[in-house]
Structures are given as structure tokens and as C-alpha cells.
Structure 1
């Protein structure tokens, strides 16, 4: 694939190669190796596709296993939009606060990249003091990081951390109280599925839009539930803390997260699905 694209003129397509071709020309001062281009291109494919797919899978899983949350979100979508074609990026979709809260809660419980994104500690002449974490001096060159899954399940920031509770992201009736503001502030700072700082995911806004559109469209046209057969049990495991313990979506860390399921049954809502057939 890379060889085929490299054989075409640089501007033949408006793609990643068109932006980096000049930087791969070592005879002209380029700084990017061909091997670096290939590895980064593959990273972009997984970072832009696998992660969003995993987040949506988790969202479908948690909604299908939490009927009250499912009903709350379905009511919000179906009362906000009168037709499926009205569901697009804009103020109406942005007003769906329970939708955003549900997405954030799924990202918290089952982050698409749940491991540790390592960074190297550096020190410049402009920084007279050494880099220090919790009283420990971190020497330059040391690899450091925070495990995303562990951070997202820390009870200090997220009480009952294995439970799917979108409401935790919504302002309560005590929103004006300092302790409520501090609670939300701590949670928002601890939620870190896209990493942070200069190495944070540049596609964060796009990912939120994709997930919002996909779930809003689905809930407008369909109802769904856990498959009642053997496949409906796939992807389930027990969390900790509550009695009985909550059901959580099982993900495995292989840089991005892999998973099995969820397996769901979808049913059209009346004749609304005819809109989809007519729009093809």
C-alpha cells in the first residue's frame, strides 16, 4: 500500500503522504524516515478507528445492561429530534447532556487505551528545579506514566468506580455549592481517555462527534437489548465494590483495547426505519 502511494505524485491525493513527502526527502533536508512514515500511518489507522469502535462497543454494552440509563438516554434523543435527518453535529446534539455523560462514563469504565502512555522526563536550562512527583525527584531520561484504567477506577475521584453512572457527570441541585464544584472538577481532571497536553489525541473532538452521532441515530431508529442466547454472555465480567457487584465490559490491553462483544438484538422503531431505506 505504501509503495503504491509513493509511486504517485505527492499531490495526487489529499492524504497523510501529501503532507509528509517533502519531509521524507533526505537529500533535501527531510527529517522523516520511510520506516517512521509507515509506523505512524499504521498508528493513525488504529488510533482513529479501533479506539472509537471500542468506545462505542462499551457504550452499547453498558446501556444494554442498565435499563434505567438506556431509557433516560432514549427519551432524551427521541424528544430532542423529530426526524433522523435532524440528527447532525450542531447545537441540538450538543444539548443532549445525558448522551455526553453516557459517553464519558463508558470511556471511563472501558478506556480504548487503558494502559500506560509512557513519556520521558526532560529538563531544560530554563527549568532550574528538578521534575518532582509527590516528593520524588524524577531524573531526566526516566520513563514515567500513569495507568489510565487505574486512574479511571480510583475511588478518590469516582465513588463506586465499577458502576455505570452517567449521572455522576451531571450537575446536581447543589451545583452552586463549592463541594459540588470541586467534585466535578476532580472527576473531569481525572478522566483522561485521550491523554493530555501536547501529546493528547488531536482527534478528540472528532471522536466525540462520531460517537454522539452513531448512538443518537441508533436510538432514534432502533431499540436494542442484550442477545438472549449464549452470545449475550460474552464480554461480561464482574466488577467490585457494590452488592451485587456491577457487570463490566471486559477489555484486554494490547496498546489499544480488544474485546469480545457485546452481542445485541436490534429492533426497528415502528416505520421510522423506512427513512433509512428511502435515503439510500
Structure 2
């Protein structure tokens, strides 16, 4: 009995101490923190669980936008995290030579210990070396060599989509979210590494994407609460999934095979634009930048993230053009005057000179930026300020900007939720307004950590959009609209949101689970 009483007393004492410590920490963070006067959600001032909740739920991009509308340009979004929407802060945080580095949350994104990639590396010197190797595969010569993979997979994509047709030649309705994930991965696996993953026509898609969906949601949660990763919970979750989920086991085997084939195919010579990091990781380059673990991280992250971004761009294109018929017609006239059905479409002067095509691409990226989440940066030295009132940043604190909120800021972009490619055509807007919009439109970020493959994304989407419009008519299936009614709207009750592509998350693979629903008719 005495032992039982002792155990109860220790438990009660532990609980009381925990409550007192938590209360002390909460009071300190609310009243005596350097950010105590910065407005923001109450619970965000106390704990990062607030942002982790929205990350897991898939509403972080919306919550950030709503918070900016409610609290202003500067928001306290965590005990040591500040969100800014003040335009000059874009360059002050992300520009060259600025005293910020990627936050500690990026460490939770590496697939294996030391498996840093160009996109996740925190150390600036390491990033420079990794990026140098990655960019060596993104030259004009390299892109031209592997470009045929883009058209090759588009043709497979449409051969699958149009197998069943009605009397007028219209295909059965396709769920573009599912098809475009497959298109993105098959294209980038071949274009990037010379691999044929065959997700468009094979059964692996049934277990690959659900596994990646769970992994990416977990990665978003871990980024907001790195302590979960530090405690080893990430490894525990992964082991549990492998023990109890048949799909997880299938994906693990598929992924291992993917890595082995990527290494074998790119050892003697590059077979795709991501070949140099593979060779670098094996010490085959004169100036290597990757070790073996970093080779794995680079190959996986670059291929998977670019694949999904490409798929999202196709989905956005199909959705918005069916919602805005005048844009469809205007772009169709421009592109069909340059190419005929069945003609090989390659990146060159005809595509590069298509002003309205580029305007449409930019407008899709504005409404569906490649990364809707917050790009957190950690302050490296004292004396740094942000915001119009020059808020001082303590060393080690995080600051970030949401491209989703920025690109829908009505002070910068007129009619922000309207799909209006003409805004990117010189002469449509007053010069000052046009210049500000161009300056703040940074879908690939700015500075030394911007996306190394931004020009590749423009090339790929230009070819894909042109191929689709030249060879096919397409239309939205209104009967399927109810299938997306439960998804989160992109904006909060703004005019024009009825024509939005709805999606579920600020992360890509988890972006939305279905839609748009499109039918195609081949042009002769």
C-alpha cells in the first residue's frame, strides 16, 4: 500500500510540476517575449502545435491568408515565428547575401541521415556545392537531349485517356488529379533519370501515391514540430506502416527498385537531367558535391517534387481554361496558328515567342504556386529587422512569407482570384501597377535558394499546353462538380472563387484528391 501511495504522490507531483512549467512558459511567451506585441492567433503565440494542426489538416495556406487579412502584414504564427507580407521583406529575407538560412524544420525532410538535397540543405556552403552539380544537368544542351521524353509520355497519357469514346469522339471523363500525378512521375522519371516507371499504364499507381500522400502530410507536420522527428517518432511511424500496411510494403520495394535502377542507369553516363547528382554521389565527377546519402536525397526530392509540380500545372491549365472560355479560345487561336495536329512540338523560338502562352503559364502559377506553404528562414545574426516598423529578429527565430497569400494580395494583384492572363501582357495595366506585379511575382522564389529548375518548368509546361491545345479539344464534365464540393476553397468568400480549382493542402502531393474532371476530343 505504501508503494501505491508513493506512486500516486509522484504522479500527482509530476502532473502539478508539468502544469506549472507549461503555465510559466505560456505566460512568458504571451507577455514577455520579444514578439509579445505582434498580433496573431492566441494559441500560435504559445505553441507550434497551432501551425502543425493546420499543416496536418491541409488548411495552413488558407489560415495564413485569413490571418493576414485579420491581423495585417506582420503575424506571430508560432512562439518564435513571424509571417510577413510586407513586399520589401521578400528580398530582405530570401535575397543574395542576406543573414538568413533555411530553418531547422528542413532537417525533417531528408529521407536518410545526411541525405540533404539542393532543396532541403540548410548549410549554405553545402547548398552551393549541391546546386552546382544539379545545374550542370540543366543546360540547354542537356534539356534538348532529353526533351523527347516530355512528348513521349504525353502521347501515352492521351492513349490511355481516350481509349473509350462516344459517338462524337469525346472520351470518357477522366479524373485529372489521378492521371496528372501519373503523367508527372512517368515524365520526370524518364526526363530526369532515364527510367520508365509506367504509372500511366501499370498497377503501381495504386500504392505509390497513397504512400507518398501520407509521407508528405507527415513531413509537413514534422516541419512545424521538429521535436517529433528528434524523438524518433518519424522512424516509429515508418516501421509501423511497414508492419501493418501492405501498400507501404509494396511502396518500399518499389522505391528501392527505383533507386537501384536510377543509380545503375546514370553511373556510366547521364541518362536524364538529374544524372550528374548520381555520378557526383559515386565520386565520378571532377568536382563532386554530393556524398552517397545526398545523392539519394537529391535524386528522390528533385524527381518527386518536380513531377508533382508538373502534374499540378497540367491540372490547373485544364481547369482554368474550361472555366474561362475566352482564354481557351484566345490561346487556341495563337497556338493552332503555329502548329498542326500531329506535328512534333519542340522547345524553340515558336514557343518562346508565344506571349499569351507565357501569360497563361504565369497566371496558373500565380493561383497555384509550386509551393503554397511558408518558406521559413532562420535569422543568423543580431541586428536584423523586418517589416515596415523594423521589427528586430532574435538570432535563431524564424521568419517566412507565403507565396499563396502574396499572390492573392489585392494591393499587388488586381482582382486577385480572377484568372486573368492579360495582366501579364504589357499595356493592359498602368505601368507602375504592372511593374509591381512583375516584381512580386516570384513563383520560384528569389536569391541563392530559388528553384534551380524554374526555366525547365517553363519549357515543360509550354510544350505540354501546346501539345494539348493543338491536338485536342477538352471540356469540363459538370456532372462531376459535386465530387469536389467537400474540398477547401482556395480563398475565403471572395468574388470569383466559384471558378477556383479547389484543393486540400499547402503541400503538393496532398494538394487535392480528385478533379478536375475533363473529357477530350481529338483534333484532325
TM-score range, shorter chain: 0.7 to 0.9
Equivalence for 2:278: 17
Matched, 1:160 2:415: yes
Provide TM-score, normalisation by structure 2: 0.44
The yes-or-no answer on 1:262 pairing with 2:516 is yes
Q: Contact 1:234/1:261 (CA < 8 Å) preserved in 2?
A: yes
SS in 1 for 2:423: helix
Q: Structure 1 or 2: larger strand share? A: 1
Contact kept? 2:335, 2:470, Cα under 8 Å: yes
| Contact 1:194–1:201, Cα closer than 8 Å, also in 2 | yes
1:114 maps to which residue?
372
Q: Name the SS of the counterpart of 1:137 in structure 2.
A: strand
| Equivalent in the alignment of 1:275 | none
Closer, same or farther: CA 102–233 of 1 in aligned 2, 3 Å: farther
Post-superposition offset of 1:228? 3.8
**Is 2:479 the counterpart of 1:221?**
no
Partner of residue 131, structure 1: 384
Q: Which of residues 332, 335, 341 in structure 2 aligns to 1:74? A: 332
Distance verdict in 2 for CA 1:32–1:66, change over 3 Å: same
Q: Secondary structure at the match of 1:72?
A: helix
The total of aligned residue pairs comes to 253
Residue pair 2:259, 2:296 contacting (<8 A) in 1 also: no
Give a deviation string over 1:219-257, Cα, whole Å, max 9, x none. 011110102432685388475432x65411112335325
Can you list the C-alpha shifts for 1:102-143, whole angstroms capped at 9, x where unaligned? 1111111111210111122224xxxxx832212112233222
| Cα gap change, 1:34 to 1:245, in 2 (>3 Å) | closer
Partner of 2:441: 191
Deviation of the 1:41 alpha carbon: 2.6
Q: Counterpart of 2:307?
A: 49
The equivalent of 1:148 in structure 2 is 403
- CA separation of 1:10 and 1:86: change in aligned 2, threshold 3 A: closer
The answer as to whether partners of 1:10 and 1:18 remain within 8 angstroms in 2 is yes
Q: Using a 3 Å threshold, how does the CA distance of structure 1 residues 196 and 251 change in structure 2: closer, same or farther?
A: farther
Q: Is the 8 A contact 1:10 1:21 kept in 2?
A: no
For structure 1, the residue ranges without an aligned partner over 5 or more in a row are 24-29, 124-128, 175-179, 272-280
Shift of 1:35: 4.2
The 3 A distance-change label for structure 1 pair 20 and 63 is same
CA distance in 1, matches of 2:318, 2:332: 12
Q: Which has the higher helix share?
A: 2
Paired residue for 1:253? Answer: 505
Structure 2: stretches of 5+ with no match in the other structure: 1-255
Structure 1 residue 6, shift from structure 2 partner: 9.6
Contact 2:366–2:441 (8 Å) recurs in 1? yes
Q: Cα deviation per residue 1:133-184 (whole Å; 9 max; x = unaligned)?
A: 121122332222101110111001112111111111111267xxxxx22212
CA RMSD of aligned residues (A): 2.9
Distance 2:328 2:427 in 1: 20
Aligned 8 A contact 1:55 1:111 in 2 = no
Q: Which moved more, 1:245-254 or 1:192-201?
A: 245-254
Deviations 1:184-236 (A, max 9, x none): 22112222221221111111001101001101111011110102432685388
**In structure 1, how many angstroms separate the alpha carbons of the residues matched to 2:266 and 2:500?**
47
